[in-house]
Amino acid sequence: MTPAGGGPRAVRIAAGQGFWGDWLEAPYRQVTGGPIDYLMMDYLAEVTMSILQKQKSRDPSLGYAKDFVPLMERILPIVVERGIKITANAGGVNPRACAQAVADVARRLKLEGRLRIGVVTGDDLLGRLDGLLARGHELRNLDTGRPLSDVRDRVRAANAYLGAWPVVDALRRGADVVITGRVTDTGLTLAPMIHAFDWRPDAWDLLAAGTVAGHTIECGAQCSGGNCLVDWERIPDLANVGYPIVEARPDGTFEIAKHPGTGGRISVAGVTEQLVYEMGDPAAYITPDCIADFTTIRLEQAGKDRVRVSGVKGRPATDKLKVSVAYFYGYKAVGTLVYAWPDAYKKARAADRVLRQRLEGLGLEFAAIHTELVGADATHGHLALERLVVDDLPEVQLRIGVRSRDLPAVERFTREIAPLILNGPPSVTGFAGGRPKPEEIVAYWPALLDKSMVEPCVELVEV
């Protein structure tokens, strides 16, 4: 990594997980399939924090992505042997407990004295909410404009998105594994670059380049052939898909590649699909670290399964942090039945009418009742029906969902599906799963908070 005659030349940052629930084989393959310097693992989606908060409230030693620990048990000996460093936001709402669990595993593996774990906290605002509100920070919903006080008594989790810098701090203090709470997906990839190349906090173009690199690999294989629409039938060997690796250089240019001998494909078209994924205004991709301008990105195919990225421009970061609040919203349930040919579509429609009439007759009130006919209009709505001969459909799944603040109403709905098997339209099956279960809805409330109100904290755990 350090050639004769100077500083670091290139740093390889490999994506190991694109979300909590991603392929368990990927991290192992990334650390064994060829040389890498860092392994980045993204675990946190917006809803994940409230699930973890619930687990922590039941058991104070939980509240992190539990899968991370056995996964680390499998790769830690290799990682230590090869000097690979890890950045992961697996800590959820309890990064210290996560670090402790990883430290316990490392000791069992006899890695004492060979591993330093960095823990990044300071993102958790749940205990500070009332103080912040009292001091005039209204945490207004970015979509609706309503102040958080409207739902304060229903809040389950509240976390600020931290950027790359606390992760950099942990790496500078010698951490081999950095476990964080709510650090941005992109920050986990940007931090190793800042650390390796000593980028300055106001080197906006470089920080933007590292942010684009992070966005490209944050969803794992989604930039290396997975969920790729262009030429999808000819993308080779998805069973052995190679997860992406960023090969970053000090000047902010980088290449997206994967280990040799792996499946999937890295092409300009596939990387472009990932760049526009979950995109808002492409000229202003705002993170805690900078504002990246995606309209300046230049892509070129630099070889087989290798895309070169250059030209990225950035602007100064804002003085705000995004805050993600999770709050109790109500209940929902979804029930399904399958109707068979002939007239599958018409029978499912008829069953929907019968069910709705019964719900109305019972005087049940719902905030929403939503019907889809899977196999016909569930995903593309009327656009699909325009070209479909519905009379020929071999089967249609009736999928009907309700949403309400009122749990008894939702529970009663779940008992109205099965009767249709015997007292509704004919040729119905597919009810083996039994009665649907009401689910609690914990909804997401995006807001902004002054950066000065959040103090990231870095601790070290020696194994």
Partner 1 sequence: MELAHARSGDKGDTANVGLIALKPEYYTILVRQVTAARVARHFKGMITGPVERFELPNLHALNFLLHGALDGGGTISLKTDAQGKVFSTALLRLEVELPR
The residues binding partner 1 (CB under 8 A) are 46-47, 143, 227, 229-230, 269, 272-283, 294-299, 311, 329, 332, 334, 368, 370, 372, 374, 378-383, 399, 401-403, 441-444, 446
Closer CB to partner 1, 6 or 280, in the complex: 280
In the complex, what is the shortest distance from the CB of residue 246 to partner 1, in angstroms, rounded to a whole number?
A: 18
Closer CB to partner 1, 272 or 414, in the complex: 272
Closer CB to partner 1, 23 or 329, in the complex: 329
SS3 346: helix
Instruction: Please identify which residue in the block is written with the tokens 């694109």.
Output: 18
Q: Which long-range contacts (CB under 8 A, 24 or more apart) does 309-313 make?
A: 309/209, 309/212, 309/213, 309/216, 309/253, 309/254, 309/255, 309/256, 309/271, 310/252, 310/253, 312/205, 312/208, 312/209, 312/212, 312/252, 313/204, 313/205, 313/208
Q: In whole angstroms, what is the distance from residue 282 CA to residue 415 CA?
A: 47
Closer CB to partner 1, 135 or 382, in the complex: 382
Letter string b/e over residues 248-286, b meaning 16 or more CB atoms within 10 A of that residue's CB = bbbebbbbbbbbeebbbbbbbebbebbbeeeeeeeeebb
Q: C-alpha 59: how far from its chain's center?
A: 24
In the complex, what is the shortest distance from the CB of residue 396 to partner 1, in angstroms, rounded to a whole number?
A: 13
In the complex, what is the shortest distance from the CB of residue 152 to partner 1, in angstroms, rounded to a whole number?
A: 19
In the complex, what is the shortest distance from the CB of residue 399 to partner 1, in angstroms, rounded to a whole number?
A: 7
Whole-number CA gyration radius for the chain:
25
In the complex, what is the shortest distance from the CB of residue 172 to partner 1, in angstroms, rounded to a whole number?
A: 33
Closer CB to partner 1, 102 or 376, in the complex: 376
In the complex, what is the shortest distance from the CB of residue 444 to partner 1, in angstroms, rounded to a whole number?
A: 5
Closer CB to partner 1, 110 or 387, in the complex: 387
Closer CB to partner 1, 43 or 165, in the complex: 43
In the complex, what is the shortest distance from the CB of residue 109 to partner 1, in angstroms, rounded to a whole number?
A: 38
CA end-to-end span of the chain: 26
Q: In whole angstroms, what is the distance from residue 285 CA to residue 292 CA?
A: 5
Q: In whole angstroms, what is the distance from residue 239 CA to residue 56 CA?
A: 36
In the complex, what is the shortest distance from the CB of residue 46 to partner 1, in angstroms, rounded to a whole number?
A: 6
Phi/psi at 235 (nearest 5 deg)?
A: -75, 120
Closer CB to partner 1, 347 or 399, in the complex: 399
Residue 97's H or E segment, with its range, is helix 95-108
